[in-house]
Structure 1
């Protein structure tokens, strides 16, 4: 990574912490995001398999699946709310305390879903409680990513942030590997047993993961940049208002994230439902998703290392264009009804294209906002992208499939997500050489090109109430 020029540091910088504490923070971020995404993604997998029948029995199978994905969307609708709430207190009180709270909420919500009676037992209240617990999960994960990622980025100082934020970014595919692996294991049970109680096992296991995650998180120290801000009493009074006074950064962050999250949703939760409907067995589809997630565990750190060297924008742009270009071939592979080609489709669409887009987002979003509003700005941009890109894309895809009876319509949706990300990231100024202790630099104009060399940071400016100047 290119280091900021001499004299660029401000008094807010100075995390002269040893590598031991940074490694502990990175491990905390890895475990935390893995656990949170395990809890969150287990729902999507199980919803695609049995929730339509267990919680919406009066609907026909197609409508039941859409209704189950409706609760899936409820979790995503809650994510921007979680980003705002936890972002506010994370920018006012501290990153660490919010990280602990998000983990407790997510673990408790997942565990209670595992205990939830179905429609046959309590009728109308079953889907109501399911949606309520899904909203709790959405609020929790809405605050999790921002806190975990910013803790790592702000502890890293002038070390390569792309490399270190990889630890939080790989939490998503690692959580997917764990969730799909556990569901694949229990789904080998006889179908009656799986529907009666087997589906509960992945949710109940979250209680054990919660204990391990809390143990690690209690040992990390507060972000040095936030601690310095607290000493000077320069907190933002209303971080959300300060971000919205100059909304361009958060709007661009939201648009940049649409492609990665559209690909994530269509190639995981929707793909499970679609491929099973095409005649694949549950184990074949879950194997494809698991293999793709394992590939992502390799691709993500490679993409982030390259983003430290060449910039965040070229990597995100390359992933977006690859996702758009391969959308129709990917669904053609799935429609071949050959298990090997299904796995290949998942690897291309999710393991490679989506991962190249997604990997640099942790560092990129952290670098787009100043310390006083970083938690709110980064979380709001990220979680709004999940709502727009992932929250509703399974619903839209199901509707397109029902209307046109062709996977080409779904492939077009995947292509659109990649194009939106490509256009948005073109408008963002390169950030990988930026000093997080300095006021964020202006965004690029429409004439800014994607360069292989990172731009030099702008000179420090006077403290501003805005997250980023325009």
Structure 2
């Protein structure tokens, strides 16, 4: 299906906007949970546990969302590779928004006892399924509508959802803390979740206006869609899936340590003001907003691998200085550490969408990219806060957490070199098997 440049450019703008808005809303919901898990969920849903166990249990429920993400990837990507990218994106947005809204209406442990954390876990699991189907569809649609020379930058439109979603969720929480004061832990925490209902309406209105990608439409017209895209992706591209997932350790692990875990560590161990550290974490999002599209653009010019490697090395090098600066308790040093620590993961994250999407042929792209990306959520970000908490409790020092980041970055660097080079790959020339 031949698309003229005028139509392609117009649709690219629509898809870019839909990717940014839609993924921002989904990540708003996902990150909102992480912030609440560090601030109030231990007291609200696990009040009978010790301080340490309450936080650990809250982080375990946080992990449930990551555990569900590959399941969401399997469900939605199979659907997206057979039926269409757009339909999968609309459904995932609805699922995420409804589950988040219901969280704002949950009774706490004091009201219904053990039923409260059970309901929390169920809704968190549904959240994970929703976000698991989001990334692959958004990236695939963005990359397939882009020109050959702008796949990195276009793919980063989906990646921008992370900093925007986190920025918005953290800002809303900070505002609610300020406005509700001591009542935040009583009822103020519900407001950010209830806001999700309004956001999904906005997201749906935008996403319903985009068109299916020309590559997928052509493939469907020619009856070349995969019968079992998940199975075919795993059987046909196992190394690509594993190596791509491992490259995500370098950005996903430090990201959740420097955001979710930091809020707990700073408030409970360093006795830093809750309002200050919540606001300070906003700087991670601000840094990502600038660095992610820049690194993606540079990857279009100088190659995905080169730019990604630079980010991995920077993340590794700064892992020890980061905690050394945070542990001083000095606000200026904490802010500096937060900004610098964000740059490396942001550089890695920028080209990541195109890097992973380019590995797979059109008929398996949604499935293959989704599985690779979301599998990393289990072994990387989902475990990072819990592992960091366990390391701090076991060794009583943040040095072990820094070593954990170093090991993850080293694994990612090795995986990056084992991943077949696909920079500037002309995906339109990928010849999928006729099924």
Fold match (TM-score > 0.5): yes
- Aligned twin of 2:353: 362
Secondary structure at the counterpart of residue 280 of structure 2: helix
Alignment check: 8 A CA contact 1:15 1:155 kept: no
Q: Distance in 2 between matches of 1:159 and 1:231?
A: 26
Q: Distance in 2 between matches of 1:14 and 1:415?
A: 46
- Aligned twin of 2:36: 46
Alignment check: 8 A CA contact 2:153 2:351 kept: no
Match of 2:395 among 401, 404, 426: 404
- For normalisation by structure 2, the TM-score amounts to 0.97
Q: Distance in 1 between matches of 2:330 and 2:179?
A: 24
Q: Distance in 2 between matches of 1:155 and 1:144?
A: 17
Structure 1, residues 385-442: CA drift from partner, whole Å, max 9, x if none?
Answer: 1221100111111000001010111111111221111111111233231122222xxx
Which deviates more, 266-275 or 181-190? 181-190
Secondary structure at the counterpart of residue 336 of structure 2: helix
Q: Distance in 2 between matches of 1:195 and 1:288?
A: 20
- Aligned twin of 1:312: 304
How far is the alpha carbon of 1:238 from its aligned partner? 0.6
Q: Distance in 1 between matches of 2:226 and 2:147?
A: 22
Asked if 1:346 corresponds to 2:338, the answer is yes
- Aligned twin of 1:160: 150
Alignment check: 8 A CA contact 2:361 2:432 kept: no
- Aligned twin of 2:102: 112
Match of 2:288 among 292, 296, 310: 296
Match of 1:275 among 256, 266, 290: 266
Alignment check: 8 A CA contact 1:266 1:414 kept: no
Structure 1, residues 115-134: CA drift from partner, whole Å, max 9, x if none?
Answer: 10100111111000000000
Which deviates more, 340-349 or 39-48? 340-349
Asked if 1:254 corresponds to 2:245, the answer is yes
Q: Distance in 2 between matches of 1:302 and 1:105?
A: 31
How far is the alpha carbon of 1:15 from its aligned partner? 7.0
How far is the alpha carbon of 1:245 from its aligned partner? 1.1
Q: Distance in 1 between matches of 2:53 and 2:77?
A: 36
- Equivalence map 1:30-109=2 (5 Å): 30-109=20-99
Structure 1, residues 51-102: CA drift from partner, whole Å, max 9, x if none?
Answer: 0010001101111001000110000000011111101000010000000000
- Aligned twin of 1:6: none
How far is the alpha carbon of 1:188 from its aligned partner? 2.0
Secondary structure at the counterpart of residue 284 of structure 2: helix
- Aligned twin of 2:370: 379
Q: Distance in 1 between matches of 2:28 and 2:86?
A: 21
Asked if 1:204 corresponds to 2:194, the answer is yes
How many residues are paired up?
A: 432
Q: Distance in 2 between matches of 1:157 and 1:425?
A: 25
Alignment check: 8 A CA contact 1:48 1:65 kept: yes
How far is the alpha carbon of 1:158 from its aligned partner? 2.2
- Aligned twin of 2:128: 138
- Aligned twin of 1:452: none
Structure 1, residues 259-286: CA drift from partner, whole Å, max 9, x if none?
Answer: 2110111111111111112111112111
- Aligned twin of 1:455: none
- For normalisation by structure 1, the TM-score amounts to 0.90
Alignment check: 8 A CA contact 1:370 1:438 kept: no
Alignment check: 8 A CA contact 2:241 2:368 kept: yes
Alignment check: 8 A CA contact 1:313 1:428 kept: no
Q: Distance in 2 between matches of 1:73 and 1:121?
A: 25
Asked if 1:425 corresponds to 2:416, the answer is yes
Asked if 1:463 corresponds to 2:433, the answer is yes
- The alignment yields a C-alpha RMSD, in angstroms, of 1.4
Asked if 1:330 corresponds to 2:326, the answer is no
Unaligned runs of 5+ in 1: 1-11, 440-460, 466-470
Q: Distance in 2 between matches of 1:68 and 1:428?
A: 35
Which deviates more, 17-26 or 323-332? 17-26
Which deviates more, 16-25 or 314-323? 16-25
Q: Distance in 2 between matches of 1:251 and 1:385?
A: 9
Decide whether aligned partners of structure 1 residues 223 and 15 sit closer, same or farther in structure 2, where only a CA change above 3 A counts: farther
Unaligned runs of 5+ in 2: none
